[in-house]
Amino acid sequence: MGSIVGMPATKSIFKVNLYSWFATICAVSIAFSGFFIYQKIQEYHGRIRIFEGNNQQYREDILAMQVESVMKYLSWRSSVLKDGPVSGSQKNLV
């Protein structure tokens, strides 16, 4: 048998088989690691979307409560101004 340039003339079947098994195990490990990392990244982005939605809902609820509070204050203020001060002092208007 002739040899290819740069390769030894003979290799044992054991070394080739061992190298093939090692390469296969490394390739499968890298593939599973990549898939695992991809799944974790997708899970992370899903959690971010949930937290952003919750934050938006929280901010909307706070705004609604503030608007309701202002509406109650304006209603009270207009009723006080409409009825006039009870004791005649300026403190009743504030």
pLDDT tens-digit profile of 8-30?
556 788 899 999 999 999 999 99
pLDDT(1) > 60: no
Distance in angstroms (rounded) separating the CA atoms of residues 27 and 4: 27
Asked, for residue 92, whether it belongs to a domain, the answer is no
Mean pLDDT (the chain) is 85
The domain in which residue 64 lies consists of 13-81
Asked, for residue 19, whether it belongs to a domain, the answer is yes
Asked, for residue 5, whether it belongs to a domain, the answer is no
Q: Contact 58/45 with Cβ under 8 angstroms?
A: no
Amino acid 43: pLDDT: 97
The tally of domains found in the chain comes to 1
Q: What is the mean pLDDT of residues 30-35?
A: 98
pLDDT(64) > 60: yes
Asked, for residue 86, whether it belongs to a domain, the answer is no
pLDDT(80) > 60: yes
Asked, for residue 91, whether it belongs to a domain, the answer is no
Asked, for residue 49, whether it belongs to a domain, the answer is yes
Interacting residues of 92 by C-beta distance below 8 A, sequence separation 6+? 80, 85, 86
Amino acid 7: pLDDT: 57
Asked, for residue 8, whether it belongs to a domain, the answer is no
Question: What are the strands, taking DSSP E only, across the chain?
Answer: none
Helix, strand or coil for residue 56? helix
Of the candidate ranges 9-13, 51-55, 71-75, the one whose mean pLDDT is the lowest: 9-13
Asked, for residue 54, whether it belongs to a domain, the answer is yes
